[in-house]
Amino acid sequence: MTRSQPRRARGTVGHAYSALNLRLALASFGLVTMTVFAVLAFRADVAWLGVVCAVFAVVAVVDLVIIQRRRAARRREEPGARHSLFE
């Protein structure tokens, strides 16, 4: 079962350990940016830079999946609660 916060985290349900909505926005920005940079690097025949950017894009996708699972767990723990970008 996925929890909204990692075990032994310093946060509580009321005061989260991590701002999940902000992490979601930043991970989305990282995914889009790294994908664009990877395409541009491959077109410019700089394959090593394209591979590095593609790896960072994959890391952003993994982070997005983790964030979404934690947001879903938070919704189950606090049904009907609305959260701003910074909580």
**Residue 19 confidence class, pLDDT cut points 50, 70, 90:** confident
Of the pLDDT bands very low, low, confident and very high (cuts 50, 70, 90), residue 79 is confident
Is 86 domain-assigned?
no
Give the integer Cα–Cα distance in Å for 36 and 25.
Answer: 17
Q: Containing domain of residue 63, as a range?
A: 19-77
Residue 82 domain-assigned (yes or no): no
Instruction: Identify the pLDDT of residue 70.
Output: 84
Does residue 63 belong to any structural domain of this protein? yes
Q: Is residue 40 in a domain?
A: yes
Could you tell me which residue, 86 or 43, shows the higher pLDDT? 43
Using alpha carbons, list the distances in angstroms from residue 51 to 33, 48, 59, 86: 14, 5, 12, 32
Region 30-52: mean pLDDT is 96
Number of domains the chain contains: 1
